[in-house]
Amino acid sequence: MTSSVRVVAAGDHFVLPSLIASALSYECPCDVRELTLGWPLEPFGPVAEVSEASDAEDELIGALAGAQVLVTQMGPVTERVLGACPELRLVVVCRGGPVNVNVEAAGRHDVRVCFAPGRNAAATAEFTVGLLLAALRRIPQAHELLARRGSWAGSAYYTYEHSGLELEDLPVGLVGYGAVGSRVARALCAFGARVMVYDPYVRGEVHGLRMSSLDELLSGSRVITLHARLTAETRGLIGARELALLPPGAVVVNAARGPLLDEDALCDALEGGRLAAAALDTYAREPLPPGSRLPGLADRVVLTPHLGGASRAVAEKAARIAAAEVGRWVRGEPLAHCLT
């Protein structure tokens, strides 16, 4: 490669183009053109044949004229974009997977596709623990009563019947033990929780934690948190049968992927009093549709709009991981996180 490699840093209002350009300056000499896409101030969605992208094909095609490299988070790398940009040879996506890229078409156009795994693992793990604590100790409900309504009635949560649970000695089950789940496990162990893990891809005892079957974990956990990837096998992993295995008064936390959990079954269990609470950051449909039952259960649920990965450090890490991949490509070194 030569020093004249041209890169388009198609960032947005989270992974700023300036963050990408700054990270690139430490990796390799290149000519960087910055482009700001609309997310998250503008929603992402399906664009042509790709999912979870900004609707900006024309804008991206214009910026990529003469460029060999694209670094982006939400840029729609469709068949049309690839066909219009014959000099493009490398796409690096600042996300855990290139869902905004037509990977098959990229292969046909001789474009390599890389991504940035692990960029939000720490942030999501911390957020999960925050959701768990909020649900266990009813923090949002008490805040609503005092700060929003000016009522001291939240002291009712000090009664034995309505007081929350503490993590020390609490049986907590983790469904999944990857980059996020393992971090959550370490944090919960520091609180003194009794942590069990279900992960069919992990064998034996790991870091002193007891591995179990899913049914065993559910029947023995006062709290479960979900950390599995969404696949054909894990879609609907926790449904009515699985929720019924939990002890009465259990709590469910999901900051992984919404479709892992059957939301109707969850609402049934909450409305029927089988579950004490749930804390969710991801949903079967996002944004929540108008007919969702979850907001009507505000006294028993903590709901956040998919913010688990929303930290400044995540944006900075994503830019650094992507820039390092560009540097390897420019120097002719093996790529670390490449699909094609």
Give the whole-number percent of the chain exceeding pLDDT 90: 90
DSSP 8-state class, residue 145: I
Res 231: pLDDT: 92
In the predicted model, is pLDDT for residue 157 greater than 90? no
pLDDT tens-place string over residues 83-95: 999 999 999 999 9
pLDDT value for 24: 97
pLDDT value of residue 3? 54
Taking residues 56-68, report their average pLDDT. Answer: 98
Number of other CB atoms surrounding residue 84 within 10 Å: 16
Segment 118-134 shows an average pLDDT of 97
Distance spanning both ends of the chain, measured CA to CA: 19
Burial of residue 110 (number of CB atoms within 10 Å: 0-12, 13-18, 19+): exposed
169 Cβ neighbours under 8 A, 6+ residues apart: 192, 193, 194
Q: What pLDDT score was predicted for residue 228?
A: 96
pLDDT at 203: 73
pLDDT tens, 163-190?
A: 899 999 999 999 999 999 999 999 999 9
Residue 105 pLDDT exceeds 60: yes
- Tell me which of 87, 286, 312, 331 is the catalytic residue: 286
Q: Please state which architecture CATH assigns to domain 121-303.
A: 3-Layer(aba) Sandwich (3.40)
pLDDT digit string, tens, across residues 204-230:
667 778 889 999 999 999 999 999 999
Q: What is the pLDDT of residue 202?
A: 86
**Would you state the structure tokens that stand for residue 77, as one six-digit string?**
């790398």
2: pLDDT confidence band, cut at 50, 70 and 90?
A: very low
Does residue 1 carry a pLDDT above 60?
no
Range in 63-67, 126-130, 159-163, 190-194 with the lowest mean pLDDT: 159-163
User: What single-letter amino acid sits at 202?
Assistant: V
pLDDT of 125 reads 98
DSSP code at position 261: B
What is the C-alpha to C-alpha distance for residues 131 and 150, in angstroms, rounded to an integer? 24
Determine what percent of the chain falls in helix, strand and coil, rounding each to the nearest 5: 35, 20, 45
Residue type, 73: Q
CA angle centred on 332, ends 24 and 320, rounded to 5°:
25
Alpha helix ranges (H) inside the chain:
17-25, 57-63, 79-84, 103-108, 121-137, 139-143, 179-191, 214-220, 240-245, 263-271, 312-331
3-state SS track over 32-57 = EEEEECCCCCCCCEEECCEEEECCCH
Q: Report the topology of domain 6-119+311-331.
A: Rossmann fold (3.40.50)
Tell me whether the CATH fold assigned to 6-119+311-331 matches the one assigned to 121-303.
yes
Provide the token pair at 287: 């944004």
Residue for token digits 């692990």?
A: 118
Percent of the chain having pLDDT more than 70? 99
Q: Tokens at residue 112, please?
A: 């390599």
Cα 288–chain centre separation = 16
| pLDDT for position 204 | 66
Q: Please state the domain extents for the chain.
A: 6-119+311-331, 121-303
Of 112, 257, 300, 337, which one is the catalytic site residue? 257
Residue with the bigger pLDDT between 205 and 61: it is 61
* Average pLDDT over every residue of 25-36: 96
- Is residue 257 annotated as a catalytic residue, yes or no? yes
Residue 156 has pLDDT above 90, yes or no: no
Residue for token pair 């049986």: 171
The whole-number pLDDT of residue 291 equals: 93
pLDDT higher than threshold 50 for residue 130 = yes
